[in-house]
Amino acid sequence: MTDTHNRSGVSPPTSQLLAPTYEGDFVLNGPLSLECGRILACPTLHYAVYGRLNAARDNAVLVCHALSGSALVGSWWPEIFAPGAVLSLEHDFVICINMLGSCYGSTGPGAVNPETGESYGPDFPLVSIRDNVRAQAQLLDSLGIRRLRLVLGGSIGGMQALEWSILHPGRVERALVIGVAPLGAMGLALNHLQRQAIQHDPGWEGGRYLPQKPPRSGLALARQIAMISYKSAPLLEERFGRNPNRNGEDPWSLNGTGSGLIGGRFDIAGYLDHQGQRFIDRFDANAYLAILRTMDTWDPLRGYASPAEAYGRIRARLVFVGISSDWLFPADAVRRFTEEIRTAGAHVDYREMASDHGHDAFLAEQAELVRLLQ
Amino acid sequence: MTDTHNRSGVSPPTSQLLAPTYEGDFVLNGPLSLECGRILACPTLHYAVYGRLNAARDNAVLVCHALSGSALVGSWWPEIFAPGAVLSLEHDFVICINMLGSCYGSTGPGAVNPETGESYGPDFPLVSIRDNVRAQAQLLDSLGIRRLRLVLGGSIGGMQALEWSILHPGRVERALVIGVAPLGAMGLALNHLQRQAIQHDPGWEGGRYLPQKPPRSGLALARQIAMISYKSAPLLEERFGRNPNRNGEDPWSLNGTGSGLIGGRFDIAGYLDHQGQRFIDRFDANAYLAILRTMDTWDPLRGYASPAEAYGRIRARLVFVGISSDWLFPADAVRRFTEEIRTAGAHVDYREMASDHGHDAFLAEQAELVRLLQ
């Protein structure tokens, strides 16, 4: 069957993707003590920079990426760099650092554990949001950047942006936190489903699969579960409705398997399958599990006696953005979270993005986001 | 680990579950020609009755069950029978018929195909909602029941109730259709995810697994995906929030597997695992796939030239119930569906059940439902 669902994929708005000024690795010059009690020996952070650091070193901006993102923010968030938008290649020095746990260059489950000489695999420890921020601070130190004009991110990137403001209050001027709050029960449930999809794949092998033999069907299903949580029901309805799959399958007929239990697909199913297939070609299952755990465990109040003690530390001016149709991090939850932080004395502004794109809106409707922030 | 999540299961409101007056099988005395073009040779319908048919044979009520329900409506919907509620054991003759495709007595994938002498397995054909209604009508004929005082059901049971009103307008006085409309893109997506969870389980064996070796983990995951669609986010938040699992697991520590990628569970995860485990002890994977397909393909307009032609056939007085927090069949979709039917000239009343239980409310908050209908 020909799958033509790539037509509905998100395309970059211009064919000229932004190339970074520099892309490289930073190796921490010592072990990173993790919140979970374990240690990462000299982990690597892969990062990309755009624009140039000025002489005063006061034009640095840190972008934190979402779950399956990379350091190449110019490729996945290009419209944020449009003239007059949020970031300026002329005036800003933009840094984006791949999260620990990822498979895009920073130390993750696929990296070699210097203690064993073999890749971490399932032994890769829990790296919290706070651990990531502490590692990122060392990278900025190495670049001579003491203070950030702005730190921003959506989803798990927003978790990092807020954590930066709490952990390093003197280093953050402004923070922009998009579509995020500590994960609620529904979000934890969705992550639990995705985790099981991978774990149940016999190819997962308890996390000890060979790189050339990964748990593809499990990771594809996990991505499909994630996709429905990133999109809103009205968007899916408008795009796919009850249409049969665009390749000509008929839900009333058998599909290729000849089983009466599995009919031809509806269009939404063809779309999800396509998204799952695209994902397994670009992401690693263990890295996915690692970052799910980073996301699940984020609690900005952990270790503080009260919200006042945690959020009272913040010196940055915060802007939170809720997305009207987001059901993974509902706008209401983001707004309530904002109020909790404001009550603790921080300077917080809340804005709501009206979009039917769901959680994905900060990536799918970048021009709208830019308008909201102007 | 001791799992104590059965505490949060729905308990019957009384210890005295209603026992049926009679429970038995009806074998169609000929082949059932299916909408998909195939034939079921003399299928069996398993059914239960409550109360007694009066001499005038005008007190019959048909209850249609939901996806994983059975003919024993007195066990899963007992409060509908409470004094002064919807049904009366004194005055009504209540019939509930197990759906074709199910594993609770009617012919399904686990039944023997008389043409081969072996169980259908994956060769079980698509049995549509309309096919079910036509088979059910033959059972009622055999009982001498010409006319139904009421036909009612929630979810896929509501699909059958409405289809009864369209297909046999002269036989239905009133119909009560709860929490349902033709499945939209999000619902089709959720079913697609569940289907894959089962198909990806190597134990599924293309549907040819031995009864004693079913695809347990796949079916458990499918049930967990379904569970989140049956509940509302606010309900999950209130019940589970970000609490660690009640058995003492800690999301910041490793779970029993020793993998750093899989931490101790949150309470919502323990709950979902428990629901998955409960389900695999009572349901069959192929039956689940069969009924998902029945649900997916339901389009009451199929074969009619227009909504007016289909819904214009209806003579019954219809009551639709939308559930305020239902995101599988959102109240708005149910209300719009009601309006489409009303426009075609049918007598339809729409009521909305205010509940934070989500789609499950018609089972989880039976007393509320009864109040709404009085």
Task: Write the DSSP assignment of A135-176 as a string of letters.
Answer: HHHHHHHHTT---BSEEEEETHHHHHHHHHHHH-GGGBSEEE
**β-bridge mates for residue A174, sequence order:** A317
pLDDT digits (tens, 9 = 90+) for A89-121: 999 999 999 999 999 999 999 999 998 999 999
Task: Decide if A150 contacts A175 (C-beta within 8 A).
Answer: yes
C-alpha to C-alpha distance for A227 and A220, rounded to whole angstroms? 10
Percent of chain A predicted with pLDDT > 90: 92
Residue B211 — φ and ψ, nearest 5°? -55, -35
Q: Which amino acid is at B127?
A: V
* pLDDT(B154) > 50: yes
C-alpha to C-alpha distance for A331 and A323, rounded to whole angstroms? 5
The mean pLDDT of chain A is 94
Contacting residues for A270 by C-beta, under 8 A, at least 6 apart: A3, A5, A245, A246, A247, A249
> Do the Cβ atoms of A195 and B268 come within 8 Å?
no
Identify the band that residue A8 occupies on the pLDDT scale cut at 50, 70 and 90: very low
pLDDT digits (tens, 9 = 90+) for A59-89: 999 999 999 999 999 999 999 999 999 999 9
Which whole-number Å values give the CA distances from B58 to B52, B94, B174, B175, B302, in the listed order? 11, 11, 13, 15, 31
Which residue of A125, A239, A265 is in closest CB contact with B260? A125
pLDDT digits (tens, 9 = 90+) for A138-177: 999 999 999 999 999 999 999 999 999 999 999 999 999 9
Structure tokens at B274: 């428990």
C-alpha to C-alpha distance for A356 and A326, rounded to whole angstroms? 8
Query: Angle at the Cα of A180 (from B276 to B5), degrees rounded to 5?
Result: 25
C-alpha closest to that of A115 among A64, A40, A174: A40
pLDDT digits (tens, 9 = 90+) for B180-236: 999 999 999 999 999 999 999 999 999 999 999 999 999 999 999 999 999 999 999
C-alpha to C-alpha distance for B338 and B320, rounded to whole angstroms? 7
pLDDT digits (tens, 9 = 90+) for B13-37: 444 579 999 999 999 999 999 999 9
Assign A180 to helix, strand or coil.
coil
Structure tokens at A263: 């009919």
- Cα dihedral A330→A332→A334→A339 (10° resolution): -170
> Do the Cβ atoms of A296 and B237 come within 8 Å?
no
pLDDT value, residue A6: 53
> String of b and e for A319-339 (b: at least 16 CB within 10 Å)?
bbbbbbbbbbbbbebbbebbe
Assign B319 to helix, strand or coil.
strand
DSSP symbol at A299: -
Contacting residues for B202 by C-beta, under 8 A, at least 6 apart: A202, B215
Assign A14 to helix, strand or coil.
coil
Interface of B with A in 6-45 (CB under 8 A): 35-36, 38
B192 in catalytic set: no
Higher pLDDT, residue A84 or B11: A84
- In chain A, what residues touch B188 (CB-CB under 8 Å)? 240, 242, 266, 268-269
Identify the band that residue B374 occupies on the pLDDT scale cut at 50, 70 and 90: confident
> Do the Cβ atoms of A293 and B261 come within 8 Å?
yes
Residue B203 — φ and ψ, nearest 5°? -70, -10
Q: Which amino acid is at A268?
A: I
DSSP secondary structure string for all residues of A56-89: TS--EEEEE--TT--S-HHHHSGGGGSTTSS--T
Query: Angle at the Cα of A96 (from A110 to A363), degrees rounded to 5?
Result: 95
pLDDT value, residue B68: 97
pLDDT value, residue A374: 87
Higher pLDDT, residue A13 or A343: A343
* pLDDT(A11) > 90: no
Percent of chain B predicted with pLDDT > 90: 92
Structure tokens at A349: 């502004």
DSSP symbol at A36: T
Contacting residues for A254 by C-beta, under 8 A, at least 6 apart: A260, A262, A263, A264
C-alpha to C-alpha distance for A52 and A60, rounded to whole angstroms? 9
E strand or H helix at A369, and its extent?
helix A366-373
Identify the band that residue B11 occupies on the pLDDT scale cut at 50, 70 and 90: very low
Q: In which order are the strands placed within the sheet that holds B93-97? A: B22-27, B44-50, B93-97, B60-64, B150-154, B174-178, B317-323, B347-353
pLDDT value, residue B254: 75
pLDDT value, residue A254: 75
DSSP secondary structure string for all residues of A201-260: SGGGGGGT--TTS--HHHHHHHHHHHHHHHS-HHHHHHHTTTPBPTTS--TTSB-TT--T
- Cα dihedral B310→B312→B318→B319 (10° resolution): 70
B174-178 and B317-323 as β-strands: parallel, antiparallel, unpaired? parallel
> Do the Cβ atoms of B197 and A221 come within 8 Å?
yes
C-alpha to C-alpha distance for A280 and B45, rounded to whole angstroms? 44
pLDDT digits (tens, 9 = 90+) for B241-275: 999 999 999 999 876 556 789 999 999 999 999 99
- In chain B, what residues touch A241 (CB-CB under 8 Å)? 184-185
A88 in catalytic set: no
Which residue bears the tokens 């004929």? B141
Q: Can you say how many angstroms the Cα of residue A369 is from the centroid of all Cα atoms in its chain?
A: 17
DSSP symbol at A40: E
pLDDT value, residue A255: 63
Contacting residues for A31 by C-beta, under 8 A, at least 6 apart: A39, A40, A41, A42
C-alpha to C-alpha distance for B284 and B215, rounded to whole angstroms? 9
Q: Across residues A275-304, what is the average pLDDT?
A: 98
E strand or H helix at A272, and its extent?
helix A267-280
Assign B226 to helix, strand or coil.
helix
Q: Across residues B29-56, what is the average pLDDT?
A: 96
ipTM: 0.95
> Do the Cβ atoms of A266 and B233 come within 8 Å?
no
Interface of A with B in 41-100 (CB under 8 A): none
pLDDT value, residue A162: 98
B196 touches chain A (CB under 8 A): yes
B91 in catalytic set: no
Contacting residues for A261 by C-beta, under 8 A, at least 6 apart: B109, B122, B124, B207, B286, B289, B290, B293
> Do the Cβ atoms of B125 and A184 come within 8 Å?
no
> Which entry of B274, B326, B357, B360 is annotated as an active-site residue?
B326
Which residue of A184, A202, A257 is in closest CB contact with B237? A184
Q: Which amino acid is at A294?
A: T
The residue of A190, A261, A284 whose CB has the most chain B CBs within 10 angstroms, and thus the best one to mutate to test that interface, is A261
Query: Angle at the Cα of A221 (from A3 to B10), degrees rounded to 5?
Result: 135
- In chain A, what residues touch B185 (CB-CB under 8 Å)? 233, 236-237, 239-242, 266-268
pLDDT digits (tens, 9 = 90+) for A189-234: 999 999 999 999 999 999 999 999 999 999 999 999 999 999 999 9
pLDDT value, residue A210: 94
